[in-house]
């Protein structure tokens, strides 16, 4: 059993075209932060007041939401103020540098700098605010999926090799990623892989390099590539369809286009909450 127990996953799907007509950036973030705050509250509400007091940080990660900040359309201080209006435990730090793997680096930072933290809270948001064609479809991952994910993890002991964050050393980051997963999975017992969602040609490579490993279904055809949310949505979807009757270990895996990758060995229990919300678009 992992030292990291999954308490809850929530996923809020977002429409590919968020806005039916041009919307200013501040209004867009007001709407998105409302959705994120509502989701956060739903997740942390499963904890007691004493347990909630042991959440030290809440990281917000993204692959695609960078341009609004780099262009000066909006600042993180403005967004964090929007979130703060919704109460405690809202996201306080934004991480984008590690793209799809940002959630893993956020967890690593939290574990290292807040060793007394009993609960880890991280959210992932990917929304095509400017409706850019690059984010709708890309040759690297084909169709994109969009949404907001919040993950709540309980720390039950000393974390050793449960969390891995690395960067590829070769030009073939996908194959290197799969090789590291295979090597790490060999050290684990009865652990199922939750992989990123990719088109068939990449799935075929995983089929060869991870042929002996237990893997959840690739949901690219259903959801598209949902960036850092993929492994968490994979676990959520599987456990909603197959109710958890006993503890089960999963290895959540994410790979960024820039070569960073993250893996977290987590335990799902019959008490883990799986929340799939209705798809939303800006009305």
212, pLDDT greater than 70: yes
Half-sphere exposure of 156 (CA within 13 A, CB side): 15
283, pLDDT greater than 70: no
Per-residue pLDDT of 88-133, as tens digits, reads 999 999 999 999 999 999 999 999 988 777 999 999 999 999 999 9
Separation of alpha carbons 55 and 120, rounded Å: 6
210, pLDDT greater than 70: yes
Per-residue pLDDT of 233-273, as tens digits, reads 999 999 999 999 999 999 999 999 999 999 999 999 999 99
Report helix angle 173-185 to 200-209, nearest 10. Answer: 40
pLDDT for 31 equals 96
Rounded to an integer, the average pLDDT of 66-84 is: 96
Structural domains of the chain sorted by starting position, each given as residue range(s) with its CATH number in brackets: 4-157+277-282 (3.40.47.10), 163-270 (3.40.47.10)
Radius of gyration for the chain, computed over Cα atoms and rounded to the nearest angstrom: 18
Q: How confident is the model at residue 160 (pLDDT cuts 50, 70, 90)?
A: confident
pLDDT for 34 equals 97
Cα 146 to Cα 39, 108, 208, 236, distances in angstroms:
15, 25, 29, 16
69, pLDDT greater than 70: yes
Give the H or E element holding residue 117.
none
Separation of alpha carbons 51 and 56, rounded Å: 11
Place of tokens 């942390």: 44
Q: Give burial (CB, 10 Å; 0-12/13-18/19+) of 256.
A: buried
Q: How confident is the model at residue 135 (pLDDT cuts 50, 70, 90)?
A: very high
Per-residue pLDDT of 12-68, as tens digits, reads 999 999 988 888 999 999 999 999 999 999 999 999 999 999 999 999 999 999 999
Half-sphere exposure of 233 (CA within 13 A, CB side): 27
**155 DSSP β-pair partners:** 4
Q: How confident is the model at residue 171 (pLDDT cuts 50, 70, 90)?
A: confident
pTM of the model: 0.97
């Amino acid at each position: 059993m992992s030292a990291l127990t999954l308490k809850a996953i929530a996923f809020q799907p977002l429409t590919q075209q968020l806005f039916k007509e041009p919307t200013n950036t501040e209004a867009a973030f007001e709407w998105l932060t409302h959705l994120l705050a509502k989701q956060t509250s739903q997740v942390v509400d499963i904890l007691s007041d004493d347990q909630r007091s042991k959440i030290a940080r809440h990281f917000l990660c993204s692959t695609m939401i960078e341009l609004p900040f780099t262009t000066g359309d909006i600042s993180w201080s403005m967004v964090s103020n929007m979130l703060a209006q919704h109460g405690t435990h809202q996201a306080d730090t934004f991480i984008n540098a590690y793209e799809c793997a940002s959630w893993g680096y956020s967890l690593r930072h939290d574990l290292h700098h807040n060793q007394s933290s009993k609960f880890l809270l991280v959210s992932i948001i990917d929304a095509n605010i400017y409706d850019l064609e690059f984010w709708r479809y890309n040759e690297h991952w084909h169709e994109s999926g969009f949404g907001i994910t919040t993950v709540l993890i309980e720390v039950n002991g000393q974390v050793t090799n449960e969390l891995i964050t690395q960067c590829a050393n070769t030009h073939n980051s996908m194959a290197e990623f799969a090789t590291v997963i295979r090597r790490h999975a060999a050290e684990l017992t009865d652990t199922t892989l939750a992989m990123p969602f990719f088109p068939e040609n990449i799935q075929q490579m995983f089929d060869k390099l991870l042929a002996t490993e237990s893997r959840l279904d690739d949901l690219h055809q259903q959801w598209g590539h949902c960036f850092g949310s993929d492994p968490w949505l994979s676990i959520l979807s599987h456990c909603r369809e197959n109710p958890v009757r006993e503890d089960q270990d999963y290895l959540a895996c994410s790979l960024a286009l820039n070569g960073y990758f993250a893996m977290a060995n987590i335990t799902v229990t019959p008490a883990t909450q799986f929340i799939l919300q209705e798809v939303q678009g800006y009305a």
